[in-house]
């Protein structure tokens, strides 16, 4: 019954696309893309961050906050929600705490995440995400990704 509710929630003209960002750390963007054939246009409806099969952000605003924390990497901030600054192997790194542990993100990897985010937005209209973001639960996304065999694949 829950599966039926989930499938009905994600419209058929919306596809979730897993975009590899840093493969060896299993960092991905999950982009919800809406295709409107009448207009011959693609609209971005959401973009989320997934690390090691865990959805870190659940809406576009949270993704923007996560990316802002990464962008201000070296300054650090004790009020950061997603990241903390930590010395690891003699280097300054971002530490992202996950449900089952944590990962470290280096300065170069942080820059790569920002760059990949810019590329992930290219060619997409942002108007629908600003006006009417597709709100998805972690369960909805997990169901979609499992159904399309996008989780637990070897990189």
DSSP assignment letter at 125: B
CA 103 to mean position of chain CA atoms: 15
The pTM for the full model equals: 0.78
Structural domain includes residue 107 = yes
- For residue 74, what is the enclosing H or E element? none
Please tell me the distance from the alpha carbon of residue 55 to that of residue 44, in angstroms, as a whole number: 18
Structural domain includes residue 152 = no
Structural domain includes residue 153 = no
**What's the domain range around 47?**
2-147
Structural domain includes residue 30 = yes
- For residue 73, what is the enclosing H or E element? none
Q: In this predicted structure, what is the pLDDT of residue 155?
A: 44
SS3 of residue 51 by DSSP: strand
Q: In this predicted structure, what is the pLDDT of residue 120?
A: 87
Please tell me the distance from the alpha carbon of residue 87 to that of residue 84, in angstroms, as a whole number: 10
Please tell me the distance from the alpha carbon of residue 116 to that of residue 154, in angstroms, as a whole number: 21
Phi, psi (degrees; rounded to nearest 5) at 140:
-60, -45
Structural domain includes residue 125 = yes
Structural domain includes residue 71 = yes
Q: In this predicted structure, what is the pLDDT of residue 78?
A: 74
**CB contact at 8 A, 59 and 133:** yes
Q: In this predicted structure, what is the pLDDT of residue 5?
A: 40
SS3 of residue 136 by DSSP: coil
One pLDDT digit (tens) per residue for the chain, 155 residues? 334 444 446 777 888 888 999 999 999 999 888 888 888 888 888 899 999 888 899 888 899 999 999 988 777 677 788 888 888 778 888 899 999 999 999 989 999 999 999 988 887 777 777 777 777 777 777 777 777 766 555 44
Would you state the structure tokens that stand for residue 136, as one six-digit string? 């998805």
Structural domain includes residue 37 = yes
Structural domain includes residue 155 = no
How many domains does the structure of the chain reveal?
A: 1
């Amino acid at each position: 019954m829950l599966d039926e509710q989930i499938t009905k929630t994600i419209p058929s003209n919306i596809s979730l696309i897993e975009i590899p960002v840093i493969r060896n750390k299993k960092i991905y963007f999950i982009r919800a893309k809406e295709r409107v054939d009448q207009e011959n246009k693609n609209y971005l409806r959401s973009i989320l961050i997934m690390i090691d099969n865990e959805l870190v952000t659940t809406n576009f605003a949270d993704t923007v906050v996560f990316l802002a924390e990464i962008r201000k990497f070296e300054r650090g901030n004790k009020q950061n929600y997603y990241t903390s600054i930590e010395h690891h192997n003699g280097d300054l790194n971002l530490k992202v705490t996950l449900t089952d542990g944590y990962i470290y993100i280096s300065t170069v990897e942080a820059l790569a995440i920002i760059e990949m985010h810019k590329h992930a937005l290219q060619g997409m209209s942002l108007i629908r995400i600003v006006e009417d973001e597709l709100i998805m639960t972690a369960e909805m996304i997990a169901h979609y990704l499992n159904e399309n065999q996008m989780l637990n694949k070897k990189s």
